[in-house]
Amino acid sequence: MPVPATAAPPAAGTTHLPRHVAIIMDGNGRWAKKRFLPRFAGHKAGVEAVRAVTRAARSMGIEALTLYAFSSENWRRPEEEVSDLMGLLRLFIRTDIDELVRENVRLRVIGDYRRFSADLVAQVEDAIARTANNSGPILVIALNYGAQAEIAAAARRLAAKAADGALDIAHIDEAAIEAELDTSDLPPLDLLIRTSGEVRLSNFLLWQAAYAELLFIDTLWPDFDAAALESAVAEFGRRQRRFGGL
């Protein structure tokens, strides 16, 4: 079973397989543009990369894989593109849920996915329910997710508990905040990867990334495959993690 994010970090300097890997899947549009294809073709190719990488993560023994599928800022994109992304999400759930069930994968969703259409919300919740009792690796999909909103919501919940007298303000510390985050039941984030050459976090797992290893690579997401994940994990293994120590 996963441990809370408040678990003690490994000893400084150790190299090992990351328990929790997160990926900002960037570059679908540029991948399509390079091939003179519509953006939808890039997003469709990106779904194939999701399949390849989730399978590779399972094979490698990674406990949790979190994928940034739709940010709270993505609503600013053209309506047609948002509709295409929603369609691909429906397709992924419909075609891949049986494999997740069969492979003992537990699906989790972080973010306010209930803003989506009622039929898509029902599909997402059915997929979560079908895998809820699985005990193997965790696949986390970030949908309508924004880290700043996540932290603000955690603060509101803590403030409400304090106002009701259920929580002493003096007890609001890092552990209390982590317990209110969407990721509270996941292993601590070890490795955060962003594809496409962009070097920013784009409002993704800002709290959780405090001591994660960050890796920014030029590969466009549709070209990111099992070998690319293995290379990223190998790079993680070469780094020394001090967690503020020597």
Is the separation of the CB atoms in 20 and 188 below 8 Å?
yes
Tokens linked to 61: 């023994």
Is the separation of the CB atoms in 111 and 143 below 8 Å?
yes
**Is 134 marked as a binding-site residue?**
no
Instruction: Count other C-beta atoms under 10 Å from residue 81's C-beta.
Output: 15
Beta strand spans in the chain (E):
20-24, 64-71, 106-110, 138-145, 191-194, 213-216
Interatomic CA distance for residues 1 and 136, integer angstroms: 8
Start-to-end Cα distance in the chain: 31
**Is 20 marked as a binding-site residue?**
no
State the Cα torsion 226-230-235-240 to the nearest 10°: 130
Residue range 74-111, pLDDT digits in tens: 999 999 999 999 999 999 999 999 999 999 999 999 99
Residue range 41-51, pLDDT digits in tens: 999 999 999 99
pTM of the model: 0.90
**Is 28 marked as a binding-site residue?**
yes
Residue range 124-135, pLDDT digits in tens: 999 999 999 999
Share of the chain above pLDDT 90, in %: 90
**Is 200 marked as a binding-site residue?**
yes
pLDDT, average across residues 132-158? 97
If pLDDT is split at 50, 70 and 90, which confidence band does 246 have?
A: low
List the chain domain ranges.
Answer: 20-238
Residues taking part in catalysis: 26, 74
Could you please state the CATH topology (level 3) that the domain comprising 20-238 is classified under.
Undecaprenyl pyrophosphate synthetase (3.40.1180)
Given this model, what pLDDT does residue 241 score?
85
**Is 73 marked as a binding-site residue?**
yes
pLDDT, average across residues 155-169? 96
